[in-house]
Structure formats: C-alpha cells, structure tokens
C-alpha cells in the first residue's frame, strides 16, 4: 500500500460509505480548510488522491467543466468532467500557487489519519473515496463505459466505448443529472 492508502495488492476492497458515515464525515468536514476541500473534491471528481494532489490550475477549465489529468495512474492522460459541486468548489478556491491544492501527501495523510480516529470511518482508506465517487456517479445514472473513462480504467468497456462518450458530454450529463445548468463563467444555477 502506498502512503496515500492505495489499493492493497491482490485485494478487491471497495467499501462504501454508509449513510451514517457520510453524515459523520460531512459534519467533521464542516469547518472549511484545505483537507476538507480536498476530500470534497475527491468525492466530486473520482480522482485518486495522488492525482488531485498533483492537479494544476492550468489543467482546469471551469468554463467547460473539465480537468486534464496529464499523469494519470495508468500512464495515459485523461480528461475528466467536473460535477456542478466540483466546479463551485474550484471556482471559489483562491489560486495561490500552480497546484490546485497546497497540501503535501504527508500533511494529507496526517489529517486523514486524525479524521479517521473515529470509529465511524476508521477502516475507510483515503483511496476508497475514489471508488465511493464512482459508485455515486453510477447511482446518478452514468454507464460503466463512462465510469471507466472518468476513473481511468483501461478495461474493455472503456476501449469499446462509443465515440459519443467524450468528456464534454460527460460533464453536460453530470450537470443535467444533478439538476443544474452550466454557464460559461463556471457558475452553477439550478433548474426551476
């Protein structure tokens, strides 16, 4: 396992957050801060922790609701759609450096470890938020090929995905499913 709590070799561990755990985590993340924002972005983007740690502002396009992940885990760059909430979170964040977050891997793991001392999430790894986000996207109605494209999985579903499955279309679909209207300024409006 890497220091960011990545998957254990040979293990198929993909736990989900229960309703109780989600409520507890949301309560604990209420005081805003870099770690809280980071965890919210993990849940809204389905990025792996190391991918979000290295995400640079120059790769984020709030107008098109997309982010380029040039150094993805599988070795191929990919573009992911940004959900309405991810767009709001990023749009409200001050740009104080090249990277979206100023956290280091060590600071993140220290904060996560402290957060997880509570029994509600003590066995939940930071990396599990990647799978939690993908599962939530599935619940919104995204198809397996779309999930594979967002998650950066090179399985047959992603390989044979029809050409109409493009990141801009995925972003539009996420916004539509969330009941929000994207605007060209990266602002979010809800449908009446």
Give 144-176 as a DSSP string: HHHHHHHHT--SHHHHT--TT--HHHHHHHHHH
Please write down the long-range contacts of 86-91, taking CB distance under 8 Å and 24 or more positions apart.
86/41, 86/44, 86/45, 87/62, 87/182, 87/186, 87/188, 88/188, 89/37, 89/40, 89/41, 89/44, 90/41, 90/60, 90/62, 90/186, 91/62, 91/186, 91/187
Where are the domains positioned within the chain?
19-178
Which pLDDT does position 165 carry in this prediction? 61
Average pLDDT estimate for 83-87 = 95
Region 19-178: CATH code:
1.10.443.10
Q: Decide which of 12 and 145 is more confident.
A: 145
As a whole-number percent, the residues of the chain with pLDDT over 70 amount to 76
Average pLDDT estimate for 107-128 = 79
- With bands split at pLDDT 50, 70 and 90, how would you rate the model's confidence at 169? confident
What is the model's pTM?
0.73
Q: pLDDT at residue 170 above 90? A: no
């Amino acid at each position: 396992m890497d220091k960011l709590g990545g998957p254990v070799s040979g293990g198929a561990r993909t736990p989900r957050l229960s309703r109780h755990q989600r409520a507890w985590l949301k309560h604990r993340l209420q005081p805003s801060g870099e770690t809280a924002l980071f965890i919210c972005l993990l849940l809204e983007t389905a990025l792996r922790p190391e991918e979000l740690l290295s995400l640079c502002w120059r790769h984020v396009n709030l107008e098109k609701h997309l982010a380029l992940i040039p150094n993805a885990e599988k070795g191929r760059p990919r573009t992911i759609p940004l959900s309405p909430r991810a767009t709001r979170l990023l749009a409200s964040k001050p740009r104080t450096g090249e990277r979206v977050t100023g956290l280091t891997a060590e600071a993140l793991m220290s904060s996560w470890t402290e957060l997880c001392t509570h029994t509600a999430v003590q066995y939940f790894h930071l990396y599990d938020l990647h799978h939690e986000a993908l599962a939530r996207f599935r619940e919104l109605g995204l198809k397996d090929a779309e999930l594979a494209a967002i998650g950066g999985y090179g399985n047959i579903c992603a390989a044979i995905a029809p050409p109409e499955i493009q990141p801009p279309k995925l972003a539009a679909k996420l916004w539509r499913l969330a009941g929000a209207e994207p605007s060209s300024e990266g602002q979010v409006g809800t449908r009446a």
